[in-house]
Structure 1
Amino acid sequence: MRFLFHYPEAHGPDGDVLDAGPLTEVARTAEEFGFSGLSFSEHPAPRARWLAHGGHQTLDPFVALGHAAAVTTRLRLLTYLAVAPYRNPLLLAKQAATLDRLSGGRLILGLGAGYLKGEFHALGVGFEERNALFDEVLDVLPLHWSGEPFSYEGRHFSARDVIALPQPTQRPIPIWIGGNSQRSRRRAAERAQGWMPMSGGAELSATARTPALGSLSELVGAIDELKEAAATMRRGEALDVLHSYHDAGLTEPAVDADRHREAFGVLEKAGVTWTVVSCPHRSATATLEFLEAFGTTYAG
C-alpha cells in the first residue's frame, strides 16, 4: 500500500488557504518522508453558506500540482478530485496532458461528477447534465491525448478534425473515478484505472449526493463488484483503489501506531492500494510535523 498526503483544506469563510504551510516546503517534506503522492481538491466557486456549514476552500488543483511537480522528483500528483463537468473536455485534456508532460509522467487524474448545485450555477454548467457531461469528458480525453486527428460532437461544442499536442508522457494518464454509486464503479470498471470511494460518514455522503459506505464489509463488497465488472469486460489491467483514512486519533501518528498499522493492513487485504491521509488545518509547523511523524512511522 502507498500513502498519499492531501493538502489540508481551509474550512469555513475565514483564514487563508495556505495557512497549512508553504506548498514548496510541504511537497518536499512529503516526498522526503516517504509519501508517494500529493493531492488537492477543487471548489472554484463555493457559496458562503456551504463554507459556514463545514465546506472548504482549496487551491486550483492543476496549478498547485504543477508547482509541486516543479519542486519534487518522485511524488505522484492527484486531483482529488477535479469536477469533470466544470470544464470543456478539450481544455481539461490539455491541462492534464501539459501537467503530465511537464512532471515527467506523474499525474493521476481523479475525476468526479460534482455535487454543489450553487457552484454549477455560478460556473454556468447545467447541474442536471452533470453525468452526461462526465461521460462526454471520458470520451474526449483519450482522443485528445492520442495526438491523432479526431472529431467529436459534444453537447455544447463541436470539434472537427482537431489535433492536440503535447501528448502526455503516460499512455494513458491514469484516470481515477470518485464516488460510491454503482454508476461511479461502472465508469471505473469500464473506462478508468482506479476508483476513489468516499468515506467519512452518512452526513458527508448526503452532502456529496453519493451512497454511504459505512463499513469495511460494504467497502470490500464494492471493491469485489468493481473487479468482477472489470473482469467481465476482459480488462487485464489491475485497478487502483484509494481509501481516505479518517481516524480521529491520527493527529499524532506515532500514538497508537500498532492500531493504525493493523487498520492499514486490513484495508490492504480488502483491496485498497492507496491510502490518503491529511491533518487538521492548523499551521505550517503542525503540517510539517505531521508529515515527518507519519512518514517515519508508516511510509518510510
Structure 2
Amino acid sequence: MSGGPGTEFRFGVNEISPEADWPERAREAERLGYDTLATTDHLGMSAPFPSLVAAAAVTTRLQVATYLTNASLWDPEVLAREIAGTDRLTGGRLSVGLHAGWTGSAGTAALTPQDKRDRLADTVDVLERLLTDPGQRPRPVSSPRPRLMLGVGEPEELELAARRADTVVFIGASLPPGKDFVLLGPDEFAAQVDTVRRRAAELGRSPELNVGVKRVVVTDDRKAAAEALRPSLAPHLTAEQLLELPTLFLGTHEEIAEQVRHCRDRYGLTSYMVLSAHLYDFAPVIPLLRKG
C-alpha cells in the first residue's frame, strides 16, 4: 500500500456475535471510517457469506471479509462457489481470509494439526484454480479473484502465507492442545513477521501485513492498564512486554495512534482488525492516522 501520511493504513472491525444486526453494524462501521467489516467463520457463529452480503447491501465503500474461514470445515469447490457468488453480490468488495483451524475446534477435532495445514494448502490451490478460470460459473467480479488473506499463528503456517497470501494475518497467539490462547511476546511476534517478510522477499512478493487486535483499552495510564490485564490475559509476559505488542492497544487515542505508527515501523504492519466490542473505542484513532 502507498500514499501520503496515514493513507497506507487500513482498519477493519471483526463482528463475532452470532446475533449481530449486520446492516446496522455495517452502517456504523462505514460511518466511523473503518475500511472493512469482517466475520469469523466458525461453527456457532453467524453464517459468513449471507452476513457479508447483508453488510454490503447497505453500504457503498465498505469492504467485507471472512476473518478467518476454517478451511477444514469446507469442501473447496463449494467454498469457491460461495466466494464467487458473494463477490458478485457485494460488487467486488469481498476479501477471503483462510486459516487451518485451531486444534480441537468444533467440526474438525479428529484432524491433526498437519492434516489441517494440508487441507488449507489444498484449499488455496483449488480456489486459485477455480476463481481464475474464465469458464467457471459463477465468476467473481474481482480480478483475477477476491483478495486472499491467510492467518498464521504457528511457525509451520508461515511458509504458505509467504508464498500465497495477498494479506498475511498475524493472529499473535498460539493455542496449544488443551490450553487457552497464549499471546506471543514481542520477540516471538517479531520473529514470525521477519520470517514471512524475508521469505516473501526471496520470492519477489510483498504481501500486506495484518494483525488481529485482541483488546483496545482507552485510558490515561497505559502501564496500569497493562498491569491489570496481565494476570488474566498474559501472565507469562511483563507489563512492559504487553505495551510493545501490536495485539493490544492501550492508552489515550493519541497514544494508541502512536502505537499503531510504532507497529508499522517495527513490524511493517499496515492493516489492523479490531473486535466488534471495540468498534467505538478505536474509531477516534482512525482520523488521527489519516491526517495529511
TM-score (norm 2): 0.75
Q: 1:110 deviation in Å?
A: 0.5
Distance in structure 2 (CA, Å) of the matches to 1:267 and 1:66: 32
Distance in structure 1 (CA, Å) of the matches to 2:272 and 2:219: 16
Q: How big is each residue's C-alpha offset from its partner over 1:229-266, in whole Å with a ceiling of 9 and x where there is no partner?
A: 1121233xx31111122345149999612221121111
Distance 1:267 1:134, change over 3 A: same
- Percent identical pairs in the alignment equals 24
Q: Quick one: which of 185, 188, 200 aligns to 1:215?
A: 185
Aligned residue in 2 for 1:244 = 212
1:3 paired with 2:11, answer yes
Q: 1:113 deviation in Å?
A: 0.7
- Counterpart amino acid of 1:173? P
Q: 1:220 deviation in Å?
A: 2.8
Equivalent pair of 1:29/1:292 in contact (CA under 8 Å): no
TM-score (norm 1): 0.73
Distance 1:148 1:255, change over 3 A: closer
Distance in structure 1 (CA, Å) of the matches to 2:172 and 2:178: 11
Aligned residue in 2 for 1:233 = 203
Distance in structure 2 (CA, Å) of the matches to 1:137 and 1:254: 37
- Counterpart amino acid of 2:107? F
Matched residue pairs, number? 253
Q: Quick one: which of 126, 130, 153 aligns to 1:180?
A: 153
1:76 paired with 2:72, answer no
Equivalent pair of 2:256/2:285 in contact (CA under 8 Å): no
1:190 paired with 2:163, answer yes
Distance 1:32 1:231, change over 3 A: same
Aligned residue in 2 for 1:13 = none
Distance in structure 1 (CA, Å) of the matches to 2:192 and 2:75: 31
Deviates more, 1:111-120 or 1:69-78: 111-120
Aligned residue in 2 for 1:137 = 123
Distance 1:86 1:191, change over 3 A: same
Instruction: For 1:267-286, list aligned pairs within 5 A.
Output: 267-269=263-265, 270-280=267-277
Q: How big is each residue's C-alpha offset from its partner over 1:65-89, in whole Å with a ceiling of 9 and x where there is no partner?
A: 1111111111121211001121111
Q: 1:188 deviation in Å?
A: 1.1
Equivalent pair of 1:40/1:79 in contact (CA under 8 Å): yes
Distance in structure 2 (CA, Å) of the matches to 1:184 and 1:175: 15
Q: 1:209 deviation in Å?
A: 8.5
**C-alpha RMSD of matched pairs (Å):** 3.1
Distance in structure 2 (CA, Å) of the matches to 1:208 and 1:108: 31
Aligned residue in 1 for 2:85 = 98
Unaligned runs of 5+ in 2: 1-8, 221-248
Aligned residue in 2 for 1:47 = none
Distance in structure 1 (CA, Å) of the matches to 2:28 and 2:181: 35
Distance in structure 2 (CA, Å) of the matches to 1:166 and 1:179: 28
1:256 paired with 2:252, answer yes
Equivalent pair of 1:33/1:296 in contact (CA under 8 Å): no
Matched position secondary structure for 1:4: strand
Equivalent pair of 2:66/2:95 in contact (CA under 8 Å): yes
Equivalent pair of 2:218/2:281 in contact (CA under 8 Å): no
Matched position secondary structure for 1:63: helix
Q: 1:211 deviation in Å?
A: 9.5
Equivalent pair of 1:2/1:299 in contact (CA under 8 Å): no
**Greater relative contact order: 1 or 2 (C-alpha under 8 angstroms, separation 6 or more)?**
1
Aligned residue in 2 for 1:224 = 194
Equivalent pair of 1:112/1:179 in contact (CA under 8 Å): yes
Distance in structure 1 (CA, Å) of the matches to 2:175 and 2:158: 16
Distance 1:127 1:225, change over 3 A: closer
Equivalent pair of 2:13/2:279 in contact (CA under 8 Å): no
1:266 paired with 2:292, answer no
